[in-house]
Each structure stands twice: as C-alpha cells, then as structure tokens.
Amino acid sequence: MKFHVHADTRLSDEQIRQSTLFLSWLTEQRVPVAEVMVNGVGYWDNDVQMLQLAVKVEGGKWWEYFQLRLPTVDVLTMVTDGTRRRVVFVRQYRPALGQWILSNPAGGIDRGETPEDAGVREVREELGLDESVDITISRLIDAPCAATPGGINEQVLFMFAVIHLTPGGFDKLIQDLEGKQAGLAAEGEEVAVVTADYSDALTWVTQGEEIPDAKTILSLAYERAR
C-alpha cells in the first residue's frame, strides 16, 4: 500500500502511519487499499485524534476526505424514583447547525477507558454531578453503530444511564439540574442542563425543533421500543 502525507504537521510520516488511529482504521478495511493520502491531521500533543484521508481501493477510484475519529459514547440519561422518570439533556451550540440544540451527554472514549467508564464520566462532566450521585449504566445497543456510512467513520456506542433516587431525592436533583450551567471548563464546554418528562421528550422529537440530533432521537426511540 502506498502512503503519502500532504498535511502540514509537525508529526513525521511514520508517526502518523504507526498511530493507533491509523492502524485501527487499516485493520478494519474489508476491501484491499492500494493507496492512502493524508490531507489533514488533528492531534493533541503527539497523539493523533483525527485524520483526513483520500483512499484509493484496488482497481477503484479515489474516495476523498474520509475522516477518522476515535469511538464515542452517546448516553441517554434518566432520573427516576421508581414511579416518575425524567430525561436529562444538555443544550449546546452546534456550529454545523447554527443553533442551540438539545442532545444526550456524549463524547469520546479516552485511551484506556471502557465505554461504560466513558459514559459515566461524560454524564458527570456535562451535568455537573459529583461522585455522591450513583449512576447505573448499560448499553442500549451492544455493538457500536456508524454515525454515517458516508464521509466519516465515527463509531457511536449507545449507552443508557439511570440515576435511582427516593421521591425526595428525585425532586431535589431535578430542581438542582434544571437550567444548571455545566460542562467541562477545561474543554471550553458551555452546557445548560434541561430535564423533561419522557412523553414530552418524544413530543419534542416529533416537532423537530428542540431535538434535531439523530443520535438522541434514535436512543429515545430505541428505549421506547424495548
């Protein structure tokens, strides 16, 4: 396989080629790859976080601007006292849409983390919850899903986080969460917490304004169908 780097980066060609991100992509290929051109590199320190590629399969054409990212988790989060349940969303600005939207807590899986550990961490960071709040987490869907079959191979693991409380604890936490400004300051996150009855959340989905995020819509629908 021919390998070229056309990106402006301080990393050597060999560092990029031997990066965990590139090697994991390469092992996942089901069609023989003849040539790869690296047109962009995103990294933190010397750890490659994203690659922008042009890929030529054997006997085929070039597929340009194929991007790679590390796997992510998307966490449908509910608070319940056994009778009542409320979904907890985050409201964030998304430049691609040019608007503030509601979505589930979500983020990348850090090196050495399990998806479950990453899911709990993201819920704590984005909702501003400390270790005193017990979070039970499981997978909504066992296998990771492709965010899109097109220009990016980002894989998403759909998780389900539940916070079980007494009726008094339920009321207090919901009151504390509603409208709370949270998020991880070190990463520049600006997050407002919003809670909703499950039925109201489904109504927001059908209206198409509050929740345009496909991952959040899928997780709500999947939980409803279980």
Task: Give the count of domains, the chain.
Answer: 2
Question: Does 46 lie in the same domain as 80?
Answer: no
**Helix intervals (H) in 67-127:** 115-127
Domain co-membership, 52 together with 99: no
Does 79 lie in the same domain as 62? no
- Strands of 95-190 (E only): list them: 99-103, 106-108, 136-139, 145-146, 155-164, 181-182
Region of 76 please: left (phi>0), alpha (psi -120 to 50) or beta: beta
Residues 120 and 133 in one domain: yes
pLDDT at position 208 over 90: no
User: Same structural domain for residues 54 and 135?
Assistant: no
Q: For residue 196, what are the domain limits? A: 72-225
CATH of the domain at 176: 3.90.79.10
Q: Are residues 62 and 88 in the same domain?
A: no
**Tens digit of each residue's pLDDT (9 = 90 or more) over 81-125:** 999 999 999 999 888 788 889 999 999 898 789 999 999 999 999
Q: Which of 48, 69, 90 is the last residue of a domain?
A: 69
Q: For residue 25, how far is the Cα from the chain centroid?
A: 18
Of 69, 94, 117, the domain-final residue:
69
Q: What is the DSSP letter of 113?
A: -
Kindly state whether residues 42 and 127 are assigned to the same domain: no
Q: What is the pLDDT of residue 149?
A: 64
Q: What percent of the chain has pLDDT over 90?
A: 55
DSSP labels for 24-60? HHHHT-SS-EEEEEEEEEEEETTEEEEEEEEEEETTS
| More confident call, 216 vs 189 | 216
Identify the pLDDT of residue 122: 95
Q: How far apart are the first and last CA of the chain?
A: 45
| 17-57: pLDDT as tens digits | 999 889 888 888 888 899 999 999 988 777 888 899 999 98
Which residues are CB-neighbours of 118 under 8 A, at least 6 positions away?
73, 107, 108, 109, 110
> What rounded mean pLDDT belongs to the chain?
89
